């Protein structure tokens, strides 16, 4: 039995979307958004949108939830626009956006989020409560910073507030850690894929490079 939170992490959904991506490429080998008709370049920027809205009542009706004719492949941003335009009151959505430092996690979230979304970014919390940049993290303040993050995560878990979508940004290189958090929050995982070389080329100093190398040394697919 599926719920609105579990179906998007199910093997049935993952396999279906993977198959649709293969079937719907055009003659040039490009996958086009079925809303704006522009190319979907990054795999993580592709989302399966149900034409007939998915609800707790019909999520286990496979003619709706897993019916390829009821699913559009669209950009994340287009997905948000569709729900805004037609006023769908969908359940709160939660995404854990993870990857290496300098992989583009924050850029992706800022491109797809709306003004009504909640964004929890540990690096930004560090910057908010200290005079340091995001990769200068004094140990004396660690308890306070993580306390702020955990309080916000608890609000997400209980769906406190009127936000529409929550994005949790972090490294989460260990499989068990990110899946445990996803299960706790009822969240979907989005991996911002970038090579180690790409991340290093975007870094601004040796301290950042150290964090990038540490992340790739720990990462579990």
Are residues 144 and 35 both part of a single domain?
no
| Nearest Cα residue to 118 out of 163, 185, 184, 83 | 163
| pLDDT tens-digit readout, 170-216 | 999 999 999 999 999 999 999 999 999 999 999 877 888 999 999 99
Helix (H) or strand (E) holding 158: none
Decide which of 46, 69, 90 is a domain's last residue: 90
Helix (H) or strand (E) holding 130: none
* pLDDT exceeds cutoff 70 at 24: yes
What is the chain's percent helix, strand, coil content, to nearest 5?
45, 15, 40
The whole-number average pLDDT for the span 12-29 is 94
Are residues 108 and 160 both part of a single domain?
yes
Q: Any idea what the CATH number is for the domain that residue 118 is in?
A: 3.40.50.300
Domain range for 52 is 1-90
Are residues 62 and 104 both part of a single domain?
no
Are residues 108 and 33 both part of a single domain?
no
| pLDDT tens-digit readout, 54-111 | 888 999 999 999 999 999 999 988 988 887 665 555 678 899 999 999 999 999 999 9
Q: Under a CB-based contact definition with an 8 Å cutoff, are residues 77 and 111 in contact?
A: yes
């Amino acid at each position: 039995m599926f719920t609105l939170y579990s179906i998007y992490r199910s093997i049935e959904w993952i396999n279906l979307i993977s198959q649709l991506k293969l079937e719907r490429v055009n003659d040039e080998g490009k996958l086009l958004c079925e809303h704006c008709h522009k190319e979907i370049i990054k795999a993580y920027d592709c989302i399966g949108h149900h034409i007939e809205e998915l609800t707790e009542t019909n999520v286990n009706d496979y003619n709706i939830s897993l019916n390829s004719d009821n699913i559009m492949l669209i950009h994340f941003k287009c997905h948000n626009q569709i729900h805004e335009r037609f006023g769908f009151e969908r359940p709160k959505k939660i995404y854990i956006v993870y990857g290496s430092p300098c992989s583009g996690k924050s850029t992706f979230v800022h491109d797809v989020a709306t003004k009504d979304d909640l964004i929890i970014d540990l690096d930004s919390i560090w910057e908010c409560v200290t005079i340091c940049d995001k990769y200068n993290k004094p140990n004396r303040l660690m308890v306070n910073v993580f306390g702020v993050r955990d309080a916000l995560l608890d609000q997400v878990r209980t769906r406190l507030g009127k936000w529409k979508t929550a994005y949790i940004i972090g490294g989460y290189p260990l499989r068990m850690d990110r899946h445990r958090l996803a299960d706790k929050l009822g969240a979907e995982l989005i991996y911002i894929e970038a090579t180690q070389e790409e991340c290093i080329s975007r870094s601004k100093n040796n301290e950042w490079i150290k964090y990038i190398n540490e992340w790739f040394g720990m990462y579990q697919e």
